[in-house]
Amino acid sequence: MASEPYKLHLIVIPFMAPGHFIPMADMARKLAEHGAMITLITLPVIAARIRPIIEQATENSNLKIQLVQVSLPLHEFGLPEGCDTVDLVPSRNLLLSFFIALDELQQPIEQVVSELKPRPSCIIADKHLPWTAEIATKFGIPRVLFDGMSCFSLLCNHMIRKSQVHLSVPMSVPFVVPGMPDHLEFTRNQLAADLYPNLEFGQKFHDRIRESEEGADGFLVNSFEELEWKYVEGYRKEKVGKAWCIGPVSLFNKTKLEVAQRGNNPAGAVDEKQCTEWLDSWPKSCVVYACLGSVSRLLIPQMIELGVALEASNKPFIWVIRGYDQEEEIEKWISESGFKERTKSRALLIFGWAPQVLILSHSSVGGFLTHCGWNSTLEGITYGKPMITWPMFAEQFYNQKLIVQVLKVGESVGPKFVVPYGREEEFGVFVLSKDILEAIEKVMAQDKEGEERRERVKRLSDMAQKAIEEGGSSYLDMKLFIEDIRNLHIS
Ligand code: UDP
């Protein structure tokens, strides 16, 4: 009897935030298309959000992807039922409890792994779940980390940490990052959270992550080599493990349904038909799309500054409003200030979740006002949209530097320092509407500078598309990854 062809069995364990589980679900599907069997282990709310896309992928094919759910005893940590992801944690005070609660997943996930058949070939874990290192060691399974950052950011962070250059300058004085392919300056209070710890549990959490990185067999990166090749090379040289660039993963969504439902949060979803019809009603490149990611929070006065700038731009715009517990208050301002009435002929306001890739891939969108999360940054590039940058926390100032200074495909609204996630109250209004407006006008302008910016980002967008096609750099890196894991597994 002919034996079954040897199949890799990959376990995928995403971190519990949209910026992590969305790209990891995209990646999991693609790995299945390359012939691997996938077991994706996650929490029920996340499973519900990625299931439609996984089911679509497996329905009419032989792809083997199973979703396994584990649950967290949220109430034991004072967290409301159903808050399975960072964006659903209702208040800042509960963030620490959420992160502590995540450690409780080690045991149930270990149990799942012990029962899996066939024996897993590799664990692909988000690096923010450091205990996955212990599971891999216990069962003698190779472990690869999915890193939510670009090679640019990874190398920046690595070089700063290695040189400790940031420690010899006062907080707001710029320093040059040593050993980088370009001249890059940052201040200490613009650095990623492991170098500028700004939450009470920050340092300890990041130390654990760094420790767990040490034994990893490599990193999967959502990027493509042509975008940041000097940094990919630099990072590969510096790191002992491998780095496979397999993105942009958003392009793995091919059908309309996949694009519309990516990361879907049914509670906040706008009707995608209405969204498409609205976009269709505008000429090419004239709409500003403003969305500050899945977890960032603006105070009401800061949101108003943004609303005022969008109105003053005189452009049609989509504004994704995530008010959390302040939703009523911002809705009140929108109605009572006359903003809604004055902008109704050219504004689409989305309260909650927006189908971002559907919007960005539409030709009428001409500018993307973004918080510079890596997924959003790469999506802006992938769909050829010049960006208006408003970094807030994590490594978002690095991404801004890549967009504005290195790739020259965006303009900043001008924030000077990280506003730590969950500590917005302490900082008040830190970006003014006049500065937001100025950046919007620059990016949307039909002048020479604007045209050149559009051309540059269009060229990158073409390269992104080629990278994932058969024979492209990301396609080949994914193949190489599979080959490397097969060799690791066999050895
Ligand atoms: N996203 C979306 N709709 C929203 C907000 C976010 O589809 O209303 C997606 C977005 O396309 C991206 C991810 O969520 O893939 C957010 O990741 P990113 O790294 O940009 O930022 P984060 O939310 O992690 O800060």
ipTM above 0.90, yes or no: yes
Pocket of ligand 1 contains residue 320 by CB under 6 Å: yes
Which residues are CB-neighbours of 295 under 8 A, at least 6 positions away?
17, 18, 19, 86, 87, 421
Q: How confident is the model at residue 200 (pLDDT cuts 50, 70, 90)?
A: low
Q: Is the pLDDT of residue 489 over 80?
A: no
User: 174 alpha carbon to ligand 1 midpoint, in Å?
Assistant: 29
Atom of ligand 1 nearest to the CA of 355: 7
pLDDT digits (tens, 9 = 90+) for 51-62: 988 888 888 788
Query: Side chain identity at 155, as an amino acid letter?
Result: L
Name the percent of the chain lying above pLDDT 90. Answer: 75
The angle at the Cα of 209, spanning 235 to 171, to the nearest 5 degrees, equals 75
User: 219 alpha carbon to ligand 1 midpoint, in Å?
Assistant: 21
Average pLDDT over residues 224-248: 92
Q: Is the pLDDT of residue 189 over 60?
A: yes
CA 59: distance to chain centroid?
Answer: 27
Strand 143-147 relative to strand 218-221, pairing: parallel
358: nearest Cα among 445, 452, 246, 260: 260
User: 354 alpha carbon to ligand 1 midpoint, in Å?
Assistant: 9
pLDDT digits (tens, 9 = 90+) for 454-469: 999 999 999 999 999 9
pLDDT digits (tens, 9 = 90+) for 258-295: 888 888 766 555 788 899 999 999 999 999 999 999 98
Average pLDDT over residues 309-318: 98
Name the percent of the chain lying above pLDDT 70. Answer: 96
Instruction: Give the range among 30-39, 173-182, 192-201, 359-368 with minimum mean pLDDT.
Output: 192-201
Q: Is the pLDDT of residue 357 over 50?
A: yes
85: nearest Cα among 123, 112, 47: 47
Catalytic residue among 26, 84, 87, 126: 126
Angle, in degrees to the nearest 10, between helices 44-59 and 18-33: 30
pLDDT digits (tens, 9 = 90+) for 103-117: 999 999 999 999 999
Residue carrying structure tokens 């879907």: 264
User: Residue 280 phi/psi, 5° resolution?
Assistant: -60, -25
Q: Is 256 exposed, middle or buried (0-12, 13-18, 19+ CB in 10 A)?
A: exposed
Q: Is 214 exposed, middle or buried (0-12, 13-18, 19+ CB in 10 A)?
A: exposed
Tell me whether residue 477 is one of the annotated catalytic residues. no
Average pLDDT over residues 70-74: 93
Instruction: Give the range among 66-70, 88-92, 324-328, 484-488 with minimum mean pLDDT.
Output: 324-328
pTM recorded for the entire structure: 0.96
Strands (E), 148-268: 175-176, 185-186, 218-221, 242-245
Pocket of ligand 1 contains residue 295 by CB under 6 Å: yes
Q: Is the pLDDT of residue 323 over 80?
A: no
Nearest CA to ligand 1 atom 7: 356
Q: How confident is the model at residue 151 (pLDDT cuts 50, 70, 90)?
A: very high
**Residue 1: its pLDDT value, please?**
40
Average pLDDT over residues 135-144: 95
**Residue 9: its pLDDT value, please?**
96
Average pLDDT over residues 188-206: 81
Which residues are CB-neighbours of 455 under 8 A, at least 6 positions away?
none
Set out the domains of the chain in order of their start, with CATH numbers. 7-249+469-487 (3.40.50.2000), 265-463 (3.40.50.2000)
Nearest CA to ligand 1 atom 24: 19
